[in-house]
Amino acid sequence: MFKLKISLPLLLALLVMIPFTLLAQQEKMPITTSSDEATELYYEAVEAMYDFNLKKSKELLEKAVMLDPEFFMGYYQLSKLGMQEGDKIDFMFYAKNAIESDADLNEGEKLLKSLLEDIIDEKKEPDVAKYGKELVELYPNAPFSYDLSGFFHYSKGEYEKALEDYEKLLELSDRKGPVYNMIGYANLGLKNFEAAEKAFNKYIELESEKFNPYDSKGDYFMAAGDYGNAYKSFEKALAVNPDFEASQNKSALAKELMKHQMAKTPDLEGTWKLISYEYMKPDGTKDDIKVKEAVRVYNKQNLASFYEYENGEIVTGVLKYELDGEVLNLKILYHSKSEMEGRDALETNSIEAGKLTRKMNFEGYDITEVYERME
C-alpha cells in the first residue's frame, strides 16, 4: 500500500464507503454527466463494487469516462479503485482527472472534489469529520451521506457515532445487507461481540449467495479467537469466489493459527472423575456445597467440535454432576487459555502429573476442581 498523508484506516474506509448506497440514493444526489450510456455504465460499476468485483467495476468505469471525459464521479471511483489496489499512479492519475473536470458539479460532487484535493495535498491533514457532517447537511435523507459520515467516524475509532449513522442508513437504504456488514464491524470495534455476530448473521441471511458476507463473518471469528470457524467462513467465501485474494490470505492465516491453538490444547480425551473441589463465595468464604459424583467426558467427537460455537461459547464435552440426589448433565465450555482476545474465558483446564485441574469464575464464585482419568 502506498503512503499518502492520511491514516491507513481512513484509506480503507475511503475504498469502500461510497459504492454501498449509491443505487439507493441516486435521485437525492444526482451524478453529473453528459452521457446516458455513461450513467448506465457507472451504476453497473457501482453494483460490481457492491459485490467486490473490482476488475469488472474498473472496466465499466473506464468505458464511462471515455464516453464522457468530464465525468467527475467516474474518475472519483477510479481513483478509489487505484487506492484499494495500492496503485499510486492510478490513484493520482484519476484523482487529478476528477479535480480538473470542467463539468458543472453539484454540491455533493464539489465536496468530494475538496476531499480529493485535501488527500493529495501533502501539506494538509484532511478533516474527514467535516466532510461527513457537511454531506449530511446537504443531503439529510440520502443514504450516501450517512454511509460517508459513518465511515469517517469509523476511521477515527468513533464507533458509537458510526453506529448512529449506520442505524439511519439502515432506514434509508434499499439494499441493507452491506449496512449490517458495517454495523458488525463497528460493534467489533466496540468489542460488542454478540451484537457484531447478529449483524454479520443478518448480512449472510440477506445475501447468502454472495462471498463477502462469509468473509466478514470470518473476520468476526478471527477477532473472537475462533480460528477454526474463521477458516471455515473464509473457505465458504472462496467457494463462491475462488479468486478473492483477501479471503485466500485470511484463510491461510486462520489455518495456521488454528494449528497453533490446537497444539496448545491439553490432551483431554477420556473420562475424568472428580477427586477434590473447592467453591469460594464472592465474599471469600467457602461454600459447603456437597458433590456426590462428578464425571467429565471428552471424546473425539466432542474435541472435534472445539471450534464450533453454541450460543456464543465453545462446546467440547458433556459433564455429569450429582448434587443432593439430582443429576445434572451440563455442556462443558472450554477455552485453551485463560484469556482470549475479545472475550473472557469461562474456564481453564490444565493437565499436570496425570491430573486435570479445572478453574472457573462464575458470578463471583471461584471454583477449583481436580479430576483424575478413569481407565
Q: What's the domain count of the chain?
A: 2
User: 374 by DSSP, 3-state: which?
Assistant: strand
- Which of the two residues, 332 and 185, has the higher pLDDT score? 185
The answer on 14 and 96 residing in a single domain is: yes
The answer to whether residue 1 is domain-embedded is no
Mean pLDDT of 245-274: 78
| CATH code of the domain containing 236 | 1.25.40.10
Q: Give the confidence band of 303 by pLDDT, cuts at 50, 70, 90.
A: very low
Q: Which residues pair with 343 in a beta bridge?
A: 340
Question: Using CA atoms, how far apart are residues 81 and 95, in angstroms rounded to an integer?
Answer: 11
Do the strands 355-362 and 347-352 form a parallel or antiparallel pair, or are they unpaired?
antiparallel
Residue 151 pLDDT: 79
Check residue 76 and give its pLDDT.
92
**Do 293 and 195 sit in the same domain of this protein?**
no
Q: Which of 102-111, 165-174, 197-206, 358-367 has the lowest mean pLDDT?
A: 358-367
Inform me whether the pLDDT recorded for 32 exceeds 50: yes
Give the mean pLDDT of 356-371: 79
Residue-wise pLDDT tens digits, 168-188: 999 988 889 989 999 999 999
What pLDDT does 299 receive?
57
Point out the domain boundary residue: 205, 238, 261: 261
Q: What is the CA radius of gyration of the chain?
A: 26
83/99 Cα distance (integer angstroms): 16
Q: Does residue 160 lie in a domain region?
A: yes
176 and 206 in contact (C-beta within 8 Å)?
Answer: yes
pLDDT over 60 (residue 6): no
Please identify, among 261, 295, 313, the residue that sits at the C-terminal boundary of a domain.
261
Boundary-marking domain end, from 231, 261, 291: 261
Residue-wise pLDDT tens digits, 104-118: 999 989 998 998 898
User: Within this chain, do residues 249 and 276 fall inside the same structural domain, yes or no?
Assistant: no
Helix (H) or strand (E) holding 272: strand 270-280
CB 239 within 8 A of CB 311: no
Q: What is the pLDDT of residues 84-93, one digit of tens each?
A: 777 889 999 9
Whether pLDDT at 313 is above 50? no
Let me know whether 205 and 330 are in one domain. Answer: no
Task: Supply the pTM of this predicted model.
Answer: 0.63
- pLDDT confidence tier of residue 306, bands split at 50, 70 and 90: very low
> For position 320, which CATH number holds?
2.40.128
Structural domain span for residue 111: 8-261
Residue 2 lies in a domain: no
pLDDT given at position 259: 72
In this structure, the answer to whether residues 17 and 81 fall within a common structural domain is yes
Dihedral in degrees, nearest 10, Cα atoms 147, 153, 158, 163: -10
Task: Give the rounded percent of residues in the chain with a pLDDT score beyond 70.
Answer: 74
Residue pair 222/340 in contact by the 8 Å Cβ criterion: no
Q: Kindly tell me if the per-residue pLDDT of 146 is higher than 60.
A: yes
On whether both 156 and 26 belong to a single domain, the answer is yes
Between CA 230 and CA 223 the distance in angstroms is: 9
Transcribe 218-230 into DSSP letters: HHHHHHTT-HHHH
131-159 mean pLDDT: 83
- What is the overall mean pLDDT for the chain? 77
56-63: long-range contacts at Cβ-Cβ below 8 A with a sequence spacing of 24 or more?
A: 57/19, 57/81, 63/38
DSSP 277-297: EEEE-TTSPBP---EEEEEEE
